[in-house]
Amino acid sequence: MKIEGKDYKTIWLKDNCVKIIDQTKLPHKFVIKDLKTVKDAINSIKTMEVRGAPLIGATAAYGLVLSILENNDQSFLKKISEELINSRPTAINLKWAVHRMMKKIAGVNSDKILEIAINEAKEICEEDINFCKNIGLNGLKIIEEIYNKKKKPVNILTHCNAGWLATIDWGTATSPIYHAHKNGIPIHVWVDETRPRNQGANLTSYELNEEGIKNTIIADNTGGILMNRGEVDLCIVGTDRTLANGDVCNKIGTYLKALAAKDNNVPFYVALPSSTIDWETKNSKEIPIEERSSDELSEIEGVDQNGKIIKVRIYPQKSKSMNLAFDVTPAKYVTGLITEKGICEASENGLKELFK
């Protein structure tokens, strides 16, 4: 998608160096960063320079390419693959991408290993672009239906950033929005700020602005009253891990939005590529929920008058705080799952029908 009128992807390889857009600097500065070693890749995932389930999977895949360039030794690759999987715990795409890469390169001792790894990492990215594009085309039908009845701009609420910045291109939750916009359907997006990292305000609003889509940032607690007033036609969110039974793990606060949507009869859709489905975990209580530093809550970041990015403390020095990064929305609150293969019920049967 576009930044200042120029097309970008979120990750690419150039001269044995992995290029990323440093998301910790957005929206204030647009910085392309070089990842030269696998440690750089691990660090970029941990510090959220790259983030969003599909993108961290792709970064881990390229991390393995970098590790082959550093030390083409099978026991080193095995150790690194575990470090990559453990760099963030909740999004399943990380494990999925590393396992997919290791299946191709484990035991390959010839010079071909680098070429094999590069091709697989590129394939993971290309596949994600196609999947996200198809999520958009499938989700477009839902938006079209609402617009055809209403004949007025469609108001969509989204949480966190499940936009193209969280994937390679198009995004998951935003892909139907981008497709609707390209098809001439007037759209307005309510963007949840998404405390504490503000992915909604800093990233979703930024990328929608760059594509010329009307949006309004709201505090995370505002969605309920907007739904109650009839000012939200539908919610579309992304997910970091969806279980085979349809339970959806996503950014903290998603669950509360789903409850409000249910109470107000607002359709609540989750958009995801199949790489985000965890077919193994049976019970959502077993999903590892990331707990990040409490500093992300007690300190807030912004730009000062000189344009310098600074952090200031906003909590009392003596106060404790707790920063759980994800929650689980039970399948019963999800109207449907929008996938690359179509839209299905959030249930074992629904997912099985699409992914036999």
Enzyme catalytic residues: 240
CB of 168 to ligand MRU, least distance (A): 11
Binding test (CB under 6 A) with ligand MRU, winner from 10, 202, 239, 329 = 239
Contact 299, 311 (CB under 8 A): yes
Q: Does 53 bind ligand MRU (CB under 6 A)?
A: yes
Q: Site for ligand MRU (CB under 6 A): how many residues?
A: 17
Q: Please name the amino acid found at residue 69.
A: L
- The contact mask relative to ligand MRU for 193-222 (x = CB under 6 A, - = no) is ------x-----------------------
The Cα 72–Cα 70 span in angstroms is 7
CB of 296 to ligand MRU, least distance (A): 10
Under 8 Å CB-to-CB from 14, ≥6 apart: which residues? none
* Collapsed DSSP state (helix, strand, coil) of residue 189: strand
In the bound state with ligand MRU, the residue whose beta carbon lies nearer, of 172 and 284, is 172
The Cα 80–Cα 75 span in angstroms is 9
Stretch that binds ligand MRU, among 34-42, 158-166, 224-232, 336-344 (CB under 6 A): 158-166
The Cα 49–Cα 197 span in angstroms is 12
Which residue's Cβ has the minimum distance to ligand MRU?
A: 238
Q: Does 51 bind ligand MRU (CB under 6 A)?
A: yes
Residue 199: enclosing H or E segment and its boundaries? helix 199-199
In the bound state with ligand MRU, the residue whose beta carbon lies nearer, of 77 and 232, is 232
Closest CA to 334 of 273, 232, 261: 261
Q: Does 166 bind ligand MRU (CB under 6 A)?
A: yes
CB of 116 to ligand MRU, least distance (A): 27
Q: Is the peptide bond before 27 cis (omega within 30 degrees of 0)?
A: yes
CB of 202 to ligand MRU, least distance (A): 10
Q: What are the φ and ψ backbone dihedral angles of 178, each rounded to 5 degrees?
A: -65, -40
Chain residues that interact with ligand MRU, rule: CB under 6 A:
51-54, 160-162, 166-167, 172, 199, 238-240, 250-251, 325
